[in-house]
Amino acid sequence: MTTDPTNYSRPLLLAAGSSGTDTTNLEARLESTTVLVTADPEAPAALTTLRVLVANLRRLPIQLHLDPDGGAEQLSADMVAELEHLAVGIDITRPLNIYPPTQAVVHVHVGTSSAAAHICGVADGHGTRVRPQGHPFPPLLAVGTGLGGVLTGAMLTAEVFKIVVDVLPDCRGPLTPIDFCPVTLTEPDGIVRDLSPLDATALIGGGAIGTAIALILRELNATGSLTVVDPETYDEPNVTTYSLGTLQTAENNTHKVHLIRDELPGLTIDPFIGTAQDYIDAIDSGTKPMPTTVLGAVDSIDARHEIAALHADHTLDGSTGGSTGTMLSLSEATWHGPCLRCYYPTRPAKGPSVIDLLAERTGLSRERLARGTEELTAEELDALEGLPPEDRAILEREVGKGVCGLGKAFGLVGADNGFNPSAAFVAQQAAALVVGALVRGGTSTRPNYVQYDALFGPYGDMTLHRNSRAACRCQTDLELHRTVRSHRR
């Protein structure tokens, strides 16, 4: 396995935006921060929750401890070994410490039995119940599922994140009880609806949200068939932001669709290396079948418009974003509206993008600048010709730093906004909303739009019913869309 240092730049960027701290000082502080994990091995979906929690916390440069004796019963040797292996795959230099620390900044517990933990959480059916210290749990209503376990691990991570990062008061909610189910969009109701075998379903996007959807499907023991669409390979920065994959996956330059295929042995996966538009072309040529349901996990408006052009019966689109990267949402769309163009209308042109301006000033390609976390090398600088002396001088100072900082170095207003921060625990909550809708049976009678901030948690009026936009193509070209759908089917 590779011994290169784990790249924490993206979660640190998200943490810096939430705490108002620069990434260098924040990283130094986190490296001396100790977090303790304990668990009741018989708690509902305990192993799934532990997998997610330990992996998510290992995606931060903290000192992470697991006390196998810290719960109502001792964790088995197999459980501990699996968690150790999981942590090493993310950061070989920071193994999971299998003993309690002298003192922990945060003690997080999976289960309901710990009175000493700062935060406890447990799956209840497809949902979760999280309690700060001193708040009792209500009776659990159902056996925890893989969806409930992943959601619980993600929400426990969010609570730990708020403390260890010292998130600004206006960027987080208080530590309060959370009772939420992504299927009901309210509290867990004790009814565990089965996920039907997948059929004529496509997952488009194998990034942070796509791997989180795949993780939930794996933990739910999903069956059936699934087409997975993505053009890219797994890269080093993905280790600390995606829910699947390791340092070895990055070293092997594995295609994201193949990573998901290998992680979902219970499903028949058809990996498609290409964009959503490439997938549409394959459908139109008759080499791929038309999907009925699309799980959207892309990261741009243009890509969402490509998904809309599929004209699938149901599209369940997950997204993350916001000023600090912690906002997440679900958009339920249909071919006849509201489609994803209704949710994400085309923005008016505002001149050259930051990437375009940087390419012009630096001589670096747009593709190279898009790999924002990769460090600028002296060899790259030497290969650049015709640069003005003042621009070359700026680049010389940036050698050895991620190119995501070039926008600021060149004084381009809002340049850093071109590189969105991300964290696995945010993407996992967005993915939980997508899979929750899938369990419900696709889009609602009146399609839902659900949005909340992972550092505030779900709340009562976060769900809105969405209507089509009258000027959208799903309304003005409805007959053409019917013709296209008929041809593809």
Whether 314 contacts 292, CB under 8 Å: yes
Whether 122 contacts 150, CB under 8 Å: no
Q: Nearest Cα to 17, choosing from 26, 30, 8, 28?
A: 26
In the block, residue with structure tokens 């599929």 = 310
Q: Is 386 left (phi over 0), alpha (psi -120 to 50) or beta?
A: left
Cis status of the peptide bond prior to 338, with omega within 30 of 0: yes
Q: Residue 22 has which token pair?
A: 């620069």
**What pLDDT band is residue 415 in, cutting at 50, 70 and 90?**
very low
Give me the phi and psi of 354, to 5 degrees please. -60, -40
The region of weakest confidence among 58-62, 445-449, 455-459 is: 445-449
Instruction: Give the per-residue pLDDT at 353.
Output: 66
Instruction: Give the per-residue pLDDT at 262.
Output: 97
Give yes or no for residue 395 having a pLDDT over 90: no
Instruction: Give the per-residue pLDDT at 349.
Output: 58
Whether 257 contacts 228, CB under 8 Å: yes
pLDDT digits (tens, 9 = 90+) for 1-33: 555 688 898 899 899 889 988 888 999 999 999
Q: How far apart are CA 448 and CA 118, in angstroms?
A: 34
CATH 3.40.50.720 in the chain is located at 9-180, 201-344+426-488
pLDDT digits (tens, 9 = 90+) for 239-293: 999 999 999 999 999 999 999 999 999 999 999 999 999 999 999 999 999 999 9
* SS3 per-residue string spanning 85-135: HHHHHHCCCCCCECCCCCCCCEEEEECCCCCCCCEEEEEECCEEEEEECCC
pLDDT digits (tens, 9 = 90+) for 28-72: 999 999 999 999 999 999 999 999 999 999 999 999 999 999 999
pLDDT digits (tens, 9 = 90+) for 292-318: 999 999 988 999 999 999 999 999 999
At position 304, the amino acid (one-letter code) is R
Which CATH number applies to 201-344+426-488? 3.40.50.720
Cα–Cα distances in Å, from 223 out to 220, 264, 336? 9, 9, 29
At position 422, the amino acid (one-letter code) is S
Bridge partners for 331 per DSSP: 317, 449
Q: Which CATH architecture has domain 9-180?
A: 3-Layer(aba) Sandwich (3.40)
Cα–Cα distances in Å, from 400 out to 28, 204, 362, 380, 472? 18, 34, 15, 11, 46
Q: How far apart are CA 276 and CA 203, in angstroms?
A: 10
- Tell how strand 314-321 and strand 448-453 pair up: unpaired
Q: Nearest Cα to 463, choosing from 428, 482, 436, 426?
A: 436
Q: How far apart are CA 19 and CA 150, in angstroms?
A: 25
Instruction: Give the per-residue pLDDT at 367.
Output: 76
Give me the phi and psi of 18, to 5 degrees please. -85, -20
**What pLDDT band is residue 417 in, cutting at 50, 70 and 90?**
very low
Helix 208-219 crosses helix 256-263 at what angle (to 10 degrees)?
Answer: 10
Question: How many beta carbons lie within 10 A of that of residue 161, not counting itself?
Answer: 26
**For the whole model, what pTM was predicted?**
0.87
Instruction: Give the per-residue pLDDT at 52.
Output: 98
Cα–Cα distances in Å, from 254 out to 171, 178, 231, 235, 244? 36, 37, 11, 8, 12
Cα–Cα distances in Å, from 148 out to 127, 139, 151, 174, 344? 4, 16, 5, 22, 29
Q: Residue 386 has which token pair?
A: 């015709």
Distance of alpha carbon 435 from the chain centroid: 13
Instruction: Give the per-residue pLDDT at 404.
Output: 67
Question: How many beta carbons lie within 10 A of that of residue 135, not counting itself?
Answer: 12
Give yes or no for residue 179 having a pLDDT over 70: yes
The residues, ordered by sequence, that sit 6+ positions from 117 with a Cβ below 8 Å of its Cβ are 38, 107, 108, 109, 133
